[in-house]
Structures are given as C-alpha cells and as structure tokens.
Structure 1
Amino acid sequence: MQIPEFSKEQSALLARFLAEQKDALSLAQTHGYLFAVICAPEPLDVHQWLEQVVPGCDGQMDEQVLFAFMALYQQISEHVFETGYSLPVSLQFNSAQQPYLDMQECQHWSQGFMLGAQGYIAKLLAAPQLASELKEALETAQQSLCFFILDSADIASIANQHGLTEGLLCQQQYEVMNEFAAGFAELIEAVAVNSQLYNDEGWG
C-alpha cells in the first residue's frame, strides 16, 4: 500500500490526538522515539511502537489517525535512509531577529529518543566483542542526542564551565545533535555488526 506523504494537516491531527490521550507521548517525543526505533538493529512492528506512543490503544484508533502515524513513520524512515535526517525542531527568531530554540520540543525529542534507544544501546554497549572506538562513538552519540533531557540547572552549570550563555550552549548542542542524528543509523549498523550480537537474521 502506498502511504501518502506526511502533511502539515496530519501533523496537527496527531498533535491533537496525542494531547487527548492518557499517558501518550507528545508529538515531539513521538518524533524522537520513532527515529530511535527506525535506527534500531531490530525495528519494532507497528503494533509494538504504537503501544509505546499511545499506551493501551491496542492499535484501535480512527483510520485517519492511524494513516497519519504510518505516514510519519515512513517520512522519518525516508529521511534516515535516503534524504538525510535532521531534527524536527528548528531555530526560531524573536522580534529582535535573535535565534532561539523551543526548549520543551528539544527536551521532548530527546526523551522520546531515549525511550526508543536505551534498550538496544545498553545491549550493544555491554557486548564483550565491541571495539573500544565504536563503544566510545556510541556513548558520545547517545550523550549528545539525550542532551536536552538534562535539567536547566545542569545546562546552566555546563554553560558556566565553558563561558557560554545557556542559549548559545543549547544552540551549539543542537547543531552537534543534528550531526550525530544524520549518521546515527550507520553508526548503529556498524556497532551491531561489530558487537557480534547481530546478524542478518536478527539478534544472536
């Protein structure tokens, strides 16, 4: 079945739907979560990831909503493997034309990413066969992509240590996150193969 391209209308539909569901992820968390799932050595099927996004739904939802989720999944997948992935959170500009980030959106993306990736990253990092340089690369990528989970006090402390404003630190981290996100699927593939936990048939 050909799934239509994910539209602004579908994005608004999902944002409304998720806001109305008990314990559901936000749309930004869903973006981060699906990115992690799509990059996984063993991707989840649709029912598994929908249950994480909307707990208790059992896949039962309006057809338009389901199609919107599928279109979002496909869009993220295409960006990851074909056109190049970039974070869905973009720099905004205030009335003085100064750039700023929507910190809640950044935090939510990182939270969703951690939810989707922490299980397989922990398994890969624990693999005895994993080369040290790949382990270090994966740990660095994880720390970067989860940066915005840090609370404001920790971010302020890091900014102070580096002589930066919090806003400038966050913008720098956002740019680094985009670089790690763009190559994350390739990194996971390399780590999974090197770990010897994974082959063409799945986890060993």
Structure 2
Amino acid sequence: MLVRRLVALYVGLWLYGLSMAVMIRAGLGLDPWDVFHQGVAAHVPISFGAATAVTGVVVLLAWIPLRQRPGVGTVSNVVVIGVSVDVGLWMLPAWDSIPLRVTAMTAAVVVNAVATVLYIGAGMGPGPRDGLMTGLVARTGWSVRSVRTGIEMSVLATGWMLGGSVGIATLVYAFGIGPLIQMMIPYADRFLPGFRVDRASEPAVVVAAP
C-alpha cells in the first residue's frame, strides 16, 4: 500500500506540473495561483517553475503560526511540481491554432484534476497552498468555501496586477476543477482504496481516509 501511495503521490505531482505547462502554452489564461506565479516570474529573473517553488516555500512559512505540520507530500510538492512545469515548458511548443489551444486547455484542466486526486489522495501531506487553506479554516472557524475563495481571489488579483495571464481558461478551471475531481474519486479509489469527499465542508476538497 505504501508503494502505491508513493506512486500516486509522485505521478500526481508530475502530472500537475505538466498540466500547468500545457495551460501556459495554450495561452488562454491560467488558474489563480499560476496567474500569480507567472506575474512573479515576469518581474523576477527566475523561471516559472522556480517562481512556483519559491512561492511554495513562502507559503510554508505561513504554516508556522497556523501550527501546520508538513509531510513528505508537502516537501515533494514544492520540488517536483517546480521541476515538472519547467520540463514541460521546455518540451512543449507554443501553439497558434485556436482549436488546438482550446483542446490543450481542456486536456490540461482534466489532467490537473486527475493529478490533484492522486497526490492529495495519497495522504502523505497536503501541498503548501492546500495546507494554508486548511490551517486558516482550523484557526478562524470560517468555512472552507469562504477561505478558499478569499485566497484564490487574492492571489488572482495580485497576479493579474503583476501581469499574469487571465482568460477563459481561468473561468473554466475555477468552475470545472471541483466537479471533475469529485467525478474522478470513485475511479481513483480502485487504485488507492479509502478516498472520500469531505461533504461536510466543501465538495471540491479531496481528503484521504485515515
């Protein structure tokens, strides 16, 4: 079971970074956090993957007052996704065809959902951004929906002001990722029994059963 969890973790993290690279190459907008990463990378002489990793480290520092504890998956999230997205950007060309870009964007959102289910469902520690959300929920008593929305809107607005790409893909991701994750959980359960959705808080939040 441990081997399957590790495979799920690292395949999920690698696919997550790859899906980010595809979304960037599609050029139709990014999810809120990637809008922020792209905005940062536009102003600092580092790659997109490095901006992702550095942001992850900074967010981890915010865990300290929240008394959150990182796991193997947390540290791996920072490293593997940063490397994967840079490799993906190096391998993938830019596309000019609108139908091809729309297809790539759609595929990226679907792959991102698969990746999310795999790495969170592995149950080896949340990513820095997910842990920030759950820590704030625990400390404030606010709903997951309110905290998640507040974080996402804040980083989206900041990233947009820094020059990050906002477009149709941003809306597709925002409204599509939750339902896709929820739909994929039963299939992932065949590989990692014990997946469930925390229905008491937010349908789009995937957690691993103890």
TM-score normalized by the length of structure 2? 0.30
TM-score normalized by the length of structure 1? 0.30
Higher RCO (CA < 8 A, seq sep 6+) = 2
Q: Which has the higher helix share?
A: 2
